[in-house]
Amino acid sequence: MYGIILLTIIWYSWLLFKHLTRSQFPTPPGPRGVPILGNLPYLEPELHSYFARLAEIYGPILSLDLGTKKAIVISSPAMARQVLKEHDVTFANRDCPSVNTAMEYSGHDIVFTPYGPEWRMLRKVCVQDMLGHATLDAFYPYRRHEVRSTVKFFYSLSGSPVNVGEQMFLNMLNLVTNMLWGGSVKGDERASIGAEFRKVVSEITELLGKPNVSDFFPGLAWLDLQGMKKKMRVVTMKLERLFDEIIEQRVKLNRSNVGEMNRDFLQVLMQLKDEGKDSKTSKTPFTMLHVKALLMDMVVGGTDTTSSTVEFALAELMNNPQIMTKAQQELDSVVGKNCMVEESHIHKLTYLRAVIKEILRLHPVLPLMVPHCPSKSCIVGGYNVPKRARVFVNVWAIHRDASIWERPNEFIPERFLDGKGDYSGNDFSYIPFGSGRRICAGIPMAERVVTFSLASLVHSFDWKLAEGDSLDLNEKFGIVLKKRLPLIAIPTPRLLGAAVYG
């Protein structure tokens, strides 16, 4: 009898506790799911446009159950402002995919490191030491060499169809790695290492973008049911070997008192590591793990993103000949037709920079950004966003919101000629690089590399499709938004004389 009374008291006490601790705010609305799997069976491959359609039904903040994981989708500037500015600290962490934990550098890179002293140290290294304007200025010869090499390659294939995206990916990979360790690796060896990196980068991005049971059911992560963590370990072992070879060469060069002519990002990072190791005041020393993690961030994050943007830009220009003509006329006026584009010309290319802003509006590189993860439950738009939810900010949907943008699905660079559209993240109707504490650290380099590369292609060549081909501008969703079909185009030289092309 007493046992029944005790159980009854415990039961009602639990119900009372549950009632008292329940948030007075509901979770955001969303579509019904099925038991256990939630909304997983209904997800569509083009996740960015699927989420945009759901937002039209359920509103600018909605929720889905992805297995045992709660997902929150943000689709308006007002909701984005609350997440990325008003509650910035709460949402400053990332929802790290399970497969990422297989990397030796997991928790030491700038993308997924939790917000705190270590992340702030890495951010400072990136913004001040690696990607500051003075450093980027010093490394311009590396970028110039690679862009010139790509233009020369296209010139050698004049009149023949070329895969623009593939060649721009190789250009960006060579460009990034040349800045990273151009003074460490030379000649044929550099080419062979570059080929290995292309393969490794492709494998890593594929694994990071593949749906993983471990992310939807974290309790099963230890089983690695799809074997993805095992595959990632194998890939990162290749990366580790490549990094070790390159770093060993850098150490040897340092012993040989290498001069400023061989300076590269790796030298900057190695110097910071040596200074951090001996620092008695630094609470978060910069270690070899951080060196390798930042090298990986630069290689993986700086190749697909920039090459995809340039490919989309050239495709949109080809699809809009009058806009292509305006861009080429501006380039001819600023640069002339008897020499090639230099980065020093970029600040004068007002129309071309508007073209790039419009590309980043219409085809944002990271359509859902890197998912945020609240450190505690938080109220957004009158709804409760639970702790550890996966929060997607649908930049693609915000950039195509008809209540904000006139003719949002059309390519109209002129909309950015009035000074609108900077990359600071303060205007939440235009956030191609994110906003808040986690805004992309690579904006200064991305601006230079994309503008310089696109300007060189548009200035140096006229572009057309092969006879019978049609231009496809459809997108393919992934970590990085890409063209569904590659751009195969024919370059025709437009500068005065073969000598200009080197």
From residue 71, give the alpha-carbon distance in Å to each of 68, 212, 447, 481: 10, 15, 32, 20
pLDDT at res. 189: 63
Nearest of 271, 323, 257 to residue 125 by alpha carbon: 271
pLDDT at res. 502: 80
The structure tokens listed for 118 are: 């270590």
Q: In this structure, what are the phi and psi dihedrals at residue 409, rounded to the nearest 5 degrees?
A: -95, 5
pLDDT at res. 13: 52
Residue 379 lies in a domain: yes
Residue 15 lies in a domain: no
Residue 8 lies in a domain: no
pLDDT at res. 301: 85
Assess contact for 151 and 456: CB atoms under 8 A: yes
pLDDT at res. 20: 46
Give the bridge partners for 461, in sequence order. 493
| Residue 446 belongs to domain with CATH number | 1.10.630.10
Strands 390-393 and 69-74: parallel
Please report, in range form, the residues annotated as the binding site. Answer: 440
Residue 215 lies in a domain: yes
- pTM across the whole model: 0.89
Residue 298 lies in a domain: yes
Residue 425 lies in a domain: yes
pLDDT at res. 278: 47
Residues of the chain with pLDDT below 50 are 3, 6-7, 10-11, 14-15, 17-21, 258-261, 278-281
CA dihedral 368, 374, 379, 383 (to 10 degrees): 50
Residue 297 lies in a domain: yes
pLDDT at res. 198: 73
pLDDT at res. 239: 80
From residue 489, give the alpha-carbon distance in Å to each of 10, 86, 292: 73, 46, 37
The structure tokens listed for 298 are: 């630069």
pLDDT at res. 271: 84
Domain around 48: 37-501
pLDDT at res. 81: 98
Please report, in range form, the residues annotated as the binding site for heme. Answer: 440
Q: Under DSSP, is residue 482 helix (H, G, I), strand (E, B) or coil?
A: strand
Residue 80 lies in a domain: yes
**Per-position DSSP letters for 231-254, written without gaps between them:** HHHHHHHHHHHHHHHHHHHHHHHH
pLDDT at res. 302: 86
Q: How does DSSP classify residue 114?
A: P
Q: How many domains, the chain?
A: 1
